[in-house]
A and B are shown apart, each in its own frame.
Chain A
Amino acid sequence: MRGWCDPEVQQELPGLGLMSSVLDVAARRSLTGRSTPEVLARLRELSNRWRGARAVNVRQEAIPAAYRVFFRHIGLDPDVTRTPIEGAVLERMLEGGFLSEGLLADVLTIALIDTGVPVWALDADTIGGPLGIRLSSPEERLGRGAHAPSVGAGRLVVADSTGAVALLFGDPAEGHEPTASTQRLALFAVQVAGVPALHVEETLWSCHSALAGDG
């Protein structure tokens, strides 16, 4: 499902979009628990495929380059705040492989590495209404809790109908992260100019198929 985007943001950053989908989690396995053998095998395969030379050149590939450019456009230096794909590849170089961090994290990593498009997961039962991208309002808080941190006005956030659930390209706010007991997942991917919608759909489909096939 294509998410909404604030008209002011859309006008200023054409090509920016959000796609989301909701997934019922199979009850048989914990999202934060150990990955399936298939997922672990896929991580190993990707680790072997991504070596130093490709890691260096990833910034020149079409989709990672589009995110780098977009980061510059929104005031993030991609050499300081790494784009998701470059962050994952750097981690792979430092750790010697894409290490397993639990079923959901692994599935999200595989989707990111396969398509170049980052995807995040939220606990669907903690969000209200469709997700979209807008600017934060003054004194807006990130998350729902009493101690939720202030976002600061004018930041680009992913929000539902009640408030901000994550900074754009940031981790989900506290209280929205999926837990071991999460029953329904809301997945969302951020599209920027230069990234075909097909890749965004593929990253979501990849997560769906991996998690639906679980169990």
Chain B
Amino acid sequence: MAQSEQSTVDRLQSGSGRFATIFDDPFAQPAAGEERAAREALRAQIDKLERELSGLVARAFPHVAPRDSAGESFSGPRLLGLAELERSRDRLALRIGEVRGEVAERGALERRSRALLERMKLEPGRYKFVRVPVADLGDGHCGVWEVRPRLGLIGMLAGWWHVKLSSGCP
């Protein structure tokens, strides 16, 4: 038996450890002190998750909605019980997962757009009239890269294509 296992058994046998209570009656209600400690631990987790979520949202804005569409406020400010704190913690963890997903999706879109723009610049003739919004490159909000013919109709007939950046914000 490993040393740690032995020490656990020792604690159980002595009945002095917290494990003894759990093994005696796994469905027993936690003592008030234990429940308070659990609530404290949950609040610490909520603290950490909320700060992480805020950081993610702030960095990803405006591509990620700052508002959680499934967000809710219980009826007024109050002391939350264990179940409510757990629900709040779980909702925050879920929201962080959603935001991370949105951030990853956004990153993939920007990578694809940059790769497309590179190809458009190398071979504009293969990407006639293809448009890549600057916003999709993560460089700003206004303007569109577009493959257009030089000199209008003449360029179109002669096969003279180039990539142009349209004017920026109105």
Contacts and interface: CB of A to CB of B under 8 A. Distances in A.
A53 to B, nearest CB: 9
Interface residues of B, number: 30
B76 A60 contact: no
Given A75-B80, A79-B68, A151-B76, A65 B54 contact: yes
Contacts of B46: 69, 72-73
Interface string A1-13: 0000000110111
B54 A60 contact: yes
Interface in B39-75: 39, 43, 46-47, 50-51, 54-55, 57-58, 61-62, 66-68, 71-75
Interface string A165-185: 001111000000000000000
Given A76-B73, A77-B72, A156 B54 contact: no
Interface string A194-210: 00000000000000000
A43 interface: no
A169 B73 CA distance: 13
A26 to B, nearest CB: 34
Contacts of B71: 77, 79-80
A68 B39 contact: no
Nearest to B91: A77
B134 interface: no
A74 interface: yes
Interface in A48-77: 56-57, 59-60, 65, 68-69, 72-77
B51 to A, nearest CB: 6
Interface in A8-48: 8-9, 11-13
Contact of A69 (B36, B51, B77): B51
Contact of A73 (B36, B66, B80): B80
Given A60-B54, A60-B58, A155 B77 contact: yes
A96 interface: no
Contacts of A56: 58, 61-62, 66
A135 interface: yes
Given A69-B47, A69-B51, A167 B72 contact: no
Interface of B: 36, 39, 43, 46-47, 50-51, 54-55, 57-58, 61-62, 66-68, 71-80, 84-85, 88, 92
Interface of A: 8-9, 11-13, 56-57, 59-60, 65, 68-69, 72-77, 79-81, 135, 151-152, 154-156, 167-170
User: Across chains A and B, which 7 residue pairs bring their CB atoms closest together, nearest first?
Assistant: A75-B74, A77-B71, A156-B77, A74-B77, A59-B54, A155-B76, A168-B77
